Structures are given as structure tokens and as C-alpha cells.
Chain A
């Protein structure tokens, strides 16, 4: 046993220290069984939406031509984006609660006492995974839909890909934001308990409340909520989602960034201060 002692070791730069911390956090995330389960659920959601497309295609073909115009189906990538957003929010939550729930956080912080760097690395890894998964699921759904529906002008597939690109990227960005919100809220709360309710509140409860506010407040409040932001960012309002189009794209982007930055910022301040 003769590893170099502290004095003999070459100085460790901030960058190489951060690279190592990122490598550790990446291994932690991919060695959780829950991560594989969550990715499986995302794949299942894409397959389910593809099955929906197949059903719609059959329906279309069975309808007399004069009734086909009445067939209304939500955009398939919109349908898939909700389960993908939720799955990645859960991934963000798990990246944190898997450490606090087991006490592993103490071993982790003994190995890496630079707490803010550790949490930033965790957030970076989760954000990267969520973005890749979001892009894969949304584009996968889009192309599967195109393949199955062919040139039937339903479910938003009458238009070419170029019309749809801004929305696909905006939705993928929102998947990333959901993941980091989940991570940030979990790191502030430090337990799975209550975290899920915050996420459910953001996705379901707040929009419900917003919709029932008197006008024009319902529009104004709803436009600030997570589900309304991708559409406003891409400037392509969905048929299925009301009250969008209040914020211009830069405004929508700013609000999206605020959703990402506020819980994560609070978590980074708190992890530095609190005992574990």
C-alpha cells in the first residue's frame, strides 16, 4: 500500500475534480434499478401512443370519406410528452431520494465534500439523460406516427416535419425542466414524501385551479404554468390546450428557465448549509 500522499499528489484542478464527480454521479444514476424501470415506462408510453396511431389509422380507413373530416385526435407527441415529463420528474426525484432515503448521502459527501459541486453534477447528469430521453421519445413518437398514419391528415400529421420541429424541441426542453424541478424539489425536501405531491400539483392541480379562475386571470395564470410553456415557446398552440399564446417565445423560455433555476438554486444553497 503506497499510494502517493496528499503532498506528493499533483494539484487537482477544479475541472478535473468536476469531471470525476460527474463520472461518479453518472454511475450512480445508471446503476439504480429504478432508472431502468423508468426508461421502460417511457418506452411503453411511446409504444402505447404508436398503438393509438394504428387504431386511428384503422378508424380513418373505416370511415366514409365525407365523415373523415370530423375525426379529431390530439397530436401524438403531445399525448406522449405528459408521461415522459412525469417519468423524468420521477427520475430527478429518485436521483436525490435514493441517497437521502438510504443514508448513502453521508458516504457520498465524505467522498465528495464539495456539496454544491456534487448537487450540480447530479443535476447535470439528470438533465442530460432527460433531454436525450425526451428527444428520443418525442421524435420516436413523431416518426412512428408518420409511418403508421402515412398521409392521412389526422393527429397533426398533415403538416411536414419542419412545421413540427420547434414544438418537438420545446417539448424535449420541457422534459429536461421537469427532471431538474423534480431533483431540486427533492433536494430541498430531502425525502420522497411530499415531493410527488409538489410535482402532481405543478402538472395537474395548479392548471385546474388556473382554468377555473375568472377571465382574464385564468389565461394569464395558465400561461405561466409548466404545461402551457412548450406551446408558447414553439409558437404553435395545441388544439387540446387552451389559454396558450399569451407569452412570446422569449418570455416562455424565461419562465421555463425560472422553473428550472428556482428549486435547483434553493437546493444548492440549502445543501451547502444544512447538516446531513
Chain B
């Protein structure tokens, strides 16, 4: 097990406390509170547009909250120097400059945190991109970009990892690889927050579940607990039924209307 400097007193590595984020009149996140603990994968689940990405952007200092706090290791992310040693994140795999080679892209991020070239080579190897390290990112598939984004998150060997929809664009083999990577990272004692809009995916990977809809907390539970209510899919859909803006009428229901 990984040595955790906070072990024994604080186990809430990620703390979202009464977080509210408004864009004009649109409330993306509405008084959201939850915590994420080390040593397990926490699934951050909700329909599209439920505020998952906004919460993660506030957590990583990209957006300023309208109210409340989002802390990692008890601190505002924007006050941390060389944060890649503490927190790794993949927000959007397409946030790369296509003209750079994969290794150079990682080196640009690594240098700013005082991380050397050896570590760049090691993470490229770890995510299976060693053979294309010298290729330009413009030619990468979405799946390869997801792997590159995960490599960037692993650069500083951080104790906290945040991934926003990392399985998008991956083939079945890649989906399985991510699942195993997430679980092994958590097994090493790291804190893993993984967002998804797919219950089926999160159920296979996560231990805990934070379910949101329309920016509000719907459930803070475990996968085991939720399964007791019957099918996970049904449980998830009934939880989020109130908070989806547009949902097609099921074929069976259509006849009845």
C-alpha cells in the first residue's frame, strides 16, 4: 500500500463542499457536496449535462466556483506548485496540439513540473504508446489520444487521479485496459475519481458511486448497495429520471399514450 501522508487523520482526499457554479442564468452545479476517499475508485455518474465536467473543472482550478469549495488534499488547486506530483487529470483527450509528437506533448507538460524525460518514456510505455512516441498527435485516433491523456495524468506519479469520461472512443480491449488500470491505481492506495454517463461501465470499475443530475447530488452510495435495488441500469435510470431534460419515450410506453 502506498504511503499516504494524510493517513490516520484525513481520508477525504477530494472534498466538494456546497459547490455551486452558474454561467449567467444557467446553474451547472447546484450546492453539490461529496467526498472521495483513497484506495478506491469512485464513479462520478450522471446524464450528459448534469455538471460532472464542470465540477471537475472547478476541482482542477480551471473554473472559479460561484459558491462553495472544491478541495484536493485540503487545498485550492490553484495554490499548488508543480501539482502533477499530487494530482493527475484527464479532462478531454482532444486538448492537445496535433502538430506535436506524443513524447514532446508530454515533455511540455512534464518540464513545467520539473519532471524529466525518463518519466515521459516510462508513462508512454505504460499506456502502450511507446511505438508511436515520435508520431504527431494529429494522426492519433480518439482511443490513442485517451491513452496519451492518461499518460499525462500519470506523469508525476500522483496520489490523486481525476478522469472525465476516459473510455470514450476506446475499443473493447482499451475499455478493459482502462478498467484494470483504474482498479490497480486504487489498489496502490491512490484516490481515483472517474466520471461517466454509462452505468454499465462504472459498475464494473467503481466501488463507490456519486450520482448527480442537473447539478445536484442524487445519490452517494456503493455499487453493492445500489445493486440491492435490482438491476443497476433500472436503479440508475429511476434515480436520474427527474433530471434528464430530454428522454425518448420507450417503445412499450408509446402504445399506451
Contact = CB atoms under 8 A, between A and B. Distances in A.
Interface of A: 1-9, 12, 16-17, 20-21, 23-25, 27-28, 31-34, 98-99, 102-115, 118, 273, 275-276
B159 A5 contact: yes
B200 interface: no
B85 A102 contact: no
B188 A1 contact: yes
B157 A103 contact: no
Contacts of A23: 111-112
B97 A20 contact: no
Given A27-B111, A111-B109, A102 B95 contact: yes
B83 A113 contact: yes
A112 B97 contact: no
Interface of B: 2-5, 57, 60-64, 73, 77-87, 89, 91-92, 94-101, 104, 107-114, 152, 156-157, 159, 188
A104 B92 CA distance: 10
Nearest to A3: B157
Contacts, number: 121
Contacts of A2: 2, 157
A107 B62 contact: no
A111 B107 CA distance: 11
A247 to B, nearest CB: 40
Contacts of A8: 5
A27 B5 contact: no
A275 B104 CA distance: 26
Nearest to A6: B86
B95 A20 contact: no
Given A12-B81, A110-B83, 15 more contacts: A2-B157, A6-B5, A6-B85, A12-B114, A20-B112, A20-B113, A27-B107, A31-B101, A104-B97, A105-B95, A108-B112, A110-B87, A112-B113, A113-B60, A113-B61
A104 B80 contact: no
Nearest to B5: A7
Given A7-B5, A103-B92, A107-B109, A17 B81 contact: yes
A5 B83 contact: no
8 contacts: A4-B85, A24-B109, A24-B113, A27-B108, A103-B95, A106-B92, A112-B113, A114-B78
Nearest to B100: A31
A110 B112 contact: no
A212 to B, nearest CB: 42
Nearest to B157: A3
Nearest to A20: B114
Contact of B97 (A102, A110, A275): A102
Contacts of B63: 275-276
A28 B100 CA distance: 9
Contact of B114 (A16, A275, A276): A16
A275 B29 CA distance: 15
A110 B89 contact: yes
